[in-house]
Amino acid sequence: MELLHAIKERRSVREYSPEPVDDALLRSLIDAAVQAPSAINQQPWCFVVVKKPELLAEISEKAKAYMRKASLTAPAHPFRDMFNDPKFDVLYHAPVLVVIGTEQPTDWAVEDCALAAQNLMLAAHEAGLGTCWIGFAQHWLSTPEGKAALGLSASCFPVAPIIIGHPRRKPASVPHKAPNIKWIEA
Ligand SMILES: Cc1cc2nc3c(=O)[nH]c(=O)nc-3n(C[C@H](O)[C@H](O)[C@H](O)COP(=O)(O)O)c2cc1C
């Protein structure tokens, strides 16, 4: 697939078939992720691949409860109804969650992990898989309980929880704002 085509076609996928994702394919996505640029080439990322259904369900429930509690402090939180819905799965029933995190809190670790995440999402798209970055899971995964669930030490922090799976259907396109560009020329 041509790169620009993949960049334009990739969409966040929120409906997955239960079909498992091949381990070798997952490994190839991580190999693509680690080709990302990183500050001073420190490559501070680490990857946790969660395929265990019970753990995926636990992460979804705990993250939702965490977000529900956090949403109570905002008078009109836009996602409160979602967090109150017992049927809402934060991970959209995807068969795999890859959490890209960092072992060393370097100055640019978050940027580095986000670039790795974009590589992973584009490589997945090229392979016919769907992905979605799940910010709703990020806060709970960063708690001591969340880190323990992922087997991460206290000094690690999760940056990019990315769900992966076979899409049930092609998502609709999303609107894109015209870029705000200031040209500074001679
Ligand atoms: C940092 C970040 C956090 C996100 N968190 C969520 C999330 O928790 N749940 C969700 O459904 N989508 C989440 N998304 C996906 C965005 O909603 C999506 O990228 C955006 O609507 C544009 O759509 P597209 O990815 O199809 O181009 C997140 C995306 C990013 C970059």
As given in the structure block, the two tokens for residue 157 are 């922090």
What pLDDT score does 7 carry? 96
Q: How far is residue 29's CA from residue 25's CA, in Å, rounded to a whole number? A: 6
Q: How far is residue 51's CA from residue 80's CA, in Å, rounded to a whole number? A: 28
Q: What is the pLDDT of residues 98-126, one digit of tens each?
A: 999 998 778 999 999 999 999 999 999 99
Superfamily for domain range 12-73+82-165: NADH Oxidase (3.40.109.10)
For range 43-67, the mean pLDDT: 97
Nearest of 146, 98, 152 to residue 121 by alpha carbon: 98
Q: What is the pLDDT of residues 10-53, one digit of tens each?
A: 999 999 999 999 999 999 999 999 999 999 999 999 999 999 99
Ligand 1 pocket, mutate which of 134, 138, 173, 176 (most atoms under 8 A from CB): 134
Is 124 touching ligand 1 by the criterion CB < 6 Å?
no
As given in the structure block, the two tokens for residue 20 are 């498992």
Q: How many helices (H) and strands (E) does the chain have?
A: 7, 4
CA distances from 47 to 5, 23, 80, 86 (A): 27, 14, 30, 29
% of the chain beyond a pLDDT of 90: 86
Ligand 1 pocket, mutate which of 7, 12, 170 (most atoms under 8 A from CB): 12
The DSSP bridge partners found for residue 46 are 101
% of the chain beyond a pLDDT of 70: 99
Distance of CA 155 to the CA centre of its chain: 20
